[in-house]
Amino acid sequence: MAKDKKITHLNEKGEANMVDITSKEMSHRIAVARASIQMKKETLNLLKEEAIKKGDVLSVARVAGIMASKQTANLIPLCHPLSITKAEIEFEVNEEKNILEINATIETYGKTGVEMEALTAASVSSLTVYDMCKAVDKGMTVTIGLVSKKGGKSGDIFFN
């Protein structure tokens, strides 16, 4: 680990600690996270045709992701409660690979980033899809990662 890098959620004694953001600058912050759900072709077709018996999967998953983003500080112990100014969940179907991609974009104007809120939104959206489709495909797999973050001291960062 680089000398100037340290784990910020530990105090001098090595104990878990919520980071002090008092002196940080306010800025417009945006984070995008993506969840990908690999599924059977038949499952993806049912999803596209809105033929899953539990209902409109994507609408429910969208609302679940938005609601989850607002609960991040209640779920992740050292996250700061944030005033989210925008929460957007978008879906993209990759028919060639039988994958549903979920992009969660979260924005705020504040002193700390919204990466965890975006990851939480993408996670809960994908788990909602899994829950609503598991009757026809229990073998779905979910992967989740951060796509980008903007704002704050470290500036704009784009991941794979």
Of 20, 131, 137, 156, which one is the catalytic site residue? 131
- Whether 56 is a known active-site residue: answer no
CB 127 within 8 A of CB 66: no
Q: Can you tell me which residue has the tokens 């993408």?
A: 122
The vertex-109 CA angle with 108 and 114, nearest 5°, equals 40
Residues with catalytic function: 131
